[in-house]
Structure 1
Amino acid sequence: MRSLVGLAAVVAAASLYLYLLSLYLPAGPRRRPPAGTGAEAGHVELEEPGDASEEPSRLKFPSDLEELRELADLLQFYKTEHTEYVLLLFCSAYLYKQSFAIPGSSFLNILAGAIFGPYQGLFLACVLTTVGSTMCFLLSQAFGKRYIVNLFPDKVSMLQRKVEENQDCLFFFLLFLRFFPMTPNWFLNMSAPIVNIPITFFFCSVLIGLLPYNFICVQTGVMLSEVSSLDDLFSWERLLQLLAIACVALLPGTLIRRFSQKRLKLDVLPQNGLIDDKKAQ
């Protein structure tokens, strides 16, 4: 009971912090609908806030290319005018999501690419994923061991057995689990302290193992923020860029899979029920 109260206190404090941070959200630019036809007709103009006669731009999930372009323009405005606030809000939201195993990291990684660019975005995604997962590890270690075992007894037992069988190459076993969807990332984050995975191995395996996933998401965000039409999306330049991204992302997984066939003991994992869950963060 005490552990539940402690976890609830941590969640409440983190939620209150995010709420208070959101109260200081700066005013966004005004959106002027296009007036005319031709090349300029599909472009949405963003102006400085202050004119009450025009509709304010809002942060929302895009449903088509036009809304995606508008979102990218809006985020670029916030980045230019309120860089420190955007960085603080993005990092806080990302760590909140990762620490409490809330789905949605792929969208945040895409946003990282759209807002911060390919290099800074990838750096932020990797660091925040690793730190947030480690915070989830520590929260589970402090408050959740008994409840996780009660909720997922078979999965925890199977993971414990596979960890013991692969003790001589535990770090590569953890990398394999991150590269391939044998078990969801959220479950691995919460169960790692229960099955006695050292926090140093855990930290490094998240940083390296999720690098290809983060790379793909960030590069997708960079590309989509630059797309203004379907012709741009299916140009030879974009297709070659997608091919290069796929090759870079698949190379580490190929090497880990080849190593796993020689060293890791994985023959029972597909039958334990873990593979039925979607890989999520």
Structure 2
Amino acid sequence: MRSLVGLVVVVTAASLYLYSLSLYLPAGPRRRPPRSAETEHVDKTESEQTDTSEEPSSLKFPSDLEELRELAELLQFYKTEHTGYVLLLFCSAYLYKQSFAIPGSSFLNILAGAIFGPYEGLLLACVLTTVGSTMCYLLSQAFGKRYIVNLFPDKVSMLQRKVEENQDCLFFFLLFLRFFPMTPNWFLNMSAPIVNIPITFFFCSVFIGLLPYNFICVQTGVMLSEVSSLDDLFSWERLLQLLAIACMALMPGALIRRFSQKRLKLDVQAQNGLIADKKVQ
């Protein structure tokens, strides 16, 4: 009970911090509300008054590509005058999602590329993914061990067995799980302290293992900010760029798979309890 109360206190404090940070949103572009048939017949004076009552843009976590594009445009506008605020807000929102295992961090990786560019965006995504996952590890270690074991007994026991079988090459086993997830990343983050994975191995495996995934997301965000039409997206230049991105992202995974066939002890089956699932951050 004490651990549950502690977790609620941490989540509440983090939520209040993120909310208070959003209250300091600088003045930005204002979006005009949809016009009805009646507003088409107002005179010029009334229309000017309507312009002054436009709804200000608001911040929220994106749930689809359209919302992601709107948010990217809004934060790009803020970044020109309020770089420090945008950076602090982005880092805080990313760590909030990652620390509490809230799905949707892939959208934030794409947003990093759209706002900060290919190099700064990639570095930011990798650092925030690693720090956020480590915070999730520490929160699970402090508050969630009993609850995770009770909720996912089969998965935890299977992961524990695999960790013990691959103890002599544990770091490469963790890399394999990141490149070819037999279980979602959020579950691996929360269960790692339960199965006695050292935090140093965990930290390094997250940074290296999710680098290709972050690279793809960031590059997608860069293209999202540059593409204005479908013709631009399917141009030869874009297609070659996508091919190069895919090759660079798949190369580390191919090396890890080759190593795993020789050294790692894996028997990936659906009934193992480690269900092949879509990568979720």
In structure 2, relative to structure 1, the CA distance for the partners of 1:52 and 1:137 (3 Å cut) is same
* Contact residue 68 and residue 111 of structure 2 kept, 8 A: no
CA distance in 2, matches of 1:162, 1:95: 29
In structure 2, relative to structure 1, the CA distance for the partners of 1:110 and 1:28 (3 Å cut) is same
Unpaired runs of 5+ residues, structure 1, are none
TM-score by length of 2: 0.88
Give the superposition deviation at 1:26.
1.2
Note the aligned Cα RMSD (angstroms). Answer: 4.7
CA distance in 2, matches of 1:180, 1:44: 60
Give the superposition deviation at 1:40.
27
* Contact residue 30 and residue 56 of structure 2 kept, 8 A: yes
Q: Report how many residues are paired.
A: 277
In structure 2, relative to structure 1, the CA distance for the partners of 1:98 and 1:133 (3 Å cut) is same
Deviations 1:84-123 (A, max 9, x none): 1110010001001111000011100000000000000000
Bigger shift: 112-121 or 74-83? 74-83
* Contact residue 130 and residue 203 of structure 1 kept, 8 A: yes
Equivalent in the alignment of 1:26: 26
* Contact residue 182 and residue 268 of structure 2 kept, 8 A: no
In structure 2, relative to structure 1, the CA distance for the partners of 1:65 and 1:186 (3 Å cut) is closer
In structure 2, relative to structure 1, the CA distance for the partners of 1:66 and 1:272 (3 Å cut) is closer
CA distance in 2, matches of 1:183, 1:128: 21
Give the superposition deviation at 1:153.
0.6
CA distance in 2, matches of 1:43, 1:133: 55
Matched position secondary structure for 2:49 = coil
Matched position secondary structure for 1:260 = helix
TM-score by length of 1: 0.88
**What's the % identity of the aligned pairs?**
91
In structure 2, relative to structure 1, the CA distance for the partners of 1:2 and 1:238 (3 Å cut) is same
Give the superposition deviation at 1:278.
2.8
Bigger shift: 23-32 or 48-57? 48-57
Give the superposition deviation at 1:274.
1.9
Give the superposition deviation at 1:136.
0.4
* Contact residue 178 and residue 185 of structure 2 kept, 8 A: yes
Give the superposition deviation at 1:275.
2.1
CA distance in 2, matches of 1:60, 1:179: 30
Deviations 1:112-169 (A, max 9, x none): 0000000000001000000000000001001111111111111000000000000000
Unpaired runs of 5+ residues, structure 2, are none
Matched position secondary structure for 2:62 = coil
Give the superposition deviation at 1:267.
1.4
